[in-house]
Amino acid sequence: MSALEEQEQQQLPVRPERLPHALWSRPGAWPWWLQIAAAYVAARAFSFLVFSGAAFKQGINPWMQPAPGYWDFVTIWDGRWYQIAAENGYPAQLPLDSLGNVQENAWAFYPVLPLLGKALSGVVGIPVLASMTAIAMVAGLLAALVVFRLFLQFSSHRTAFWGTVFVACFPVSAILQVPYAESLNLLFLAAALLALVQRRYVSAMPFVVLAALSRPMGVPFGALVGLLWAHRLWALFRERRRPDRAETRSLLAHGALTLVACTAALAWPALAWARTGDIAAYTKTETVWRGGGLVPFKPWWDMAVGTLGPVLGPVALLAFLVCSAWALLKAPAVRRIGVELRLWCACYLIYLLAFLQPQTSTFRLLLPLFPLGLAVAFVSRSKAYRWTVVLMFSLLQIVWVVWLWAWAQLPGGGDYPP
C-alpha cells in the first residue's frame, strides 16, 4: 500500500460533542458500516426508481395485469419458481410431457432462499414472495458490508469503498432487491472469500456450504481452494522442508475446506437424485431451459459460429479468451486484487464457459465476478473517473431492466429472460 493510500485510510477522530454535526457535514467521518450502508441504500433507491418506471410501462404479461406496482413487478420471472419451491417443495417425480421429456420444474432452483422465505413467512405471516423479497434486500445490504471488508484486505479505505459502490451499482445489481437468490449467494460467497484470504479455513466452511446451496457455486469454489491447496503442497515439496505444527494445522484445515467445497458442489444434484430416484434429475431439469443436452464448452462455440460465422466467430471467441487471460494475469489493476480473488474469477469464468448456455441471463450470472469491481476502482483515483463509472453502470442498469426484466412478447412467443 502506498503512503498516499495509507494517508487516505487514516480518519481524523471526531469529538463526541461534534458527532451529530460531523455526521451531516463529513460523510468521510462516518463509521465504515454507515458509509457502505448509505451508498448501498442509495444504489437500491435508484434501482427502485428504474423498476417503478419500467413497471408503469409494463404491458400485457404472463403474471399480472398491465402497469403493476413495484412490489408485484419485482416478483416476476424466477421469483415465481422460488415461490413454487417454497410453498410446494420439490417434486418427487420429474414432470414429463407426452414424449417422456422432462419439463420445467423447481429442481433448477437451489433451496436456501425458498427455505428461508417459507420460514420467515410462517413467523411473520406475510406471503412467501414478500418474505423472499425482504430477505433478498437485507442480504444484499449485508453482502455489501462483507464485500467492503474483503476489499479492505487489498486496498485503502477509500478505494475499497469505491469498489463496493461499483458492485452496488453494477448494471445487473437491481437483481439484489428481487426474490432471487443472488443477494444471498453474494453474501455467502464474499464471506467465504474473506475467510479464505485471511486463511480462516474452518470459518469458511459454513459459508461455502450455504453458497453452494443457494446458487451453483460449489464447483468453481472447490476448484479455487483445491488449486490453492495444491500450490501450497507443491511449494513445500519444491523447497524440501517440513512444515511446523502451525503450518501443518493450516494445511489440514485447508484440505478439509477443499473436501467440504467439493462435497457441497455435489450436494444438490445428490439430493435431487435421492428424492426422485433419477441420478440425472438436476442436470435434466437444468437443460430443459436450454432446449438441449449438456455438452461442456460447445454452446459457446455454437453461439460464436452462429452469431459471427465460421471464421470470425472462433476468432472472436479466441480473442475473448486471450484478453480475459491477459487481464487476470497481467493487467496492473487486476493484479492488485490478490491471487485468491484473481484465481476465483478465473475458476468462475472457466465454469461459465464449460457449463453455461450463453443467453441474456449471462449478464446476471456475471455478478459473482464482483472482485473485479475493486480492480475497476484501482484503475484511477480520479473522482471524475469513479463518478463516470457509477453513471455508466447506472445507465446500463436502466437498459438491463427495460430490455430484459420488463416482459414484451417476441414474434415467436416468450421473451428474453433476465
Listed by start position, the domains of the chain span 22-405
Rounded-to-integer distance, Cα 197 and Cα 212, Å: 19
pLDDT of residue 15: 56
What's the distance, Cα to Cα, between the start and end of the chain in Å? 39
Rounded-to-integer distance, Cα 250 and Cα 252, Å: 5
User: Which letter does DSSP use for residue 337 in this model?
Assistant: T
Rounded-to-integer distance, Cα 85 and Cα 391, Å: 37
Rounded-to-integer distance, Cα 192 and Cα 33, Å: 19
Rounded-to-integer distance, Cα 337 and Cα 192, Å: 16
Single-letter residue type at 190: A
Residues 6+ apart with CB under 8 A from 69: 55
Rounded-to-integer distance, Cα 314 and Cα 246, Å: 49
Query: How far is residue 351 from each of residues 71, 116, 172, 297, measured CA to CA in Å?
Result: 34, 27, 20, 9
Half-sphere exposure of 251 (CA within 13 A, CB side): 14
Phi, psi of 119 (to 5 degrees): -65, -45
Residues 6+ apart with CB under 8 A from 12: 29
User: Which letter does DSSP use for residue 102 in this model?
Assistant: B
In this structure, the number of other CB atoms found within 10 A of the CB of residue 100 comes to: 6
Q: Where are the beta strands (DSSP E) in 98-190?
A: none
pLDDT of residue 288: 92
pLDDT of residue 3: 45
Rounded-to-integer distance, Cα 44 and Cα 82, Å: 22
Rounded-to-integer distance, Cα 94 and Cα 154, Å: 47
Residue with cell 455508466: 392
* Assigned C-alpha cell, 62: 404472463
| Residue numbers in the chain where pLDDT is lower than 70 | 1-25
Rounded-to-integer distance, Cα 227 and Cα 223, Å: 6
Residue with cell 464447483: 219
Residue 71, helix vs strand vs coil:
helix
In the chain, count H helices and then E strands: 20, 0
pLDDT of residue 291: 76
Residues 6+ apart with CB under 8 A from 79: 129, 132, 133, 178, 179, 180
pLDDT of residue 9: 46
Query: How far is residue 50 from each of residues 54, 73, 162, 171, measured CA to CA in Å?
Result: 6, 11, 22, 12
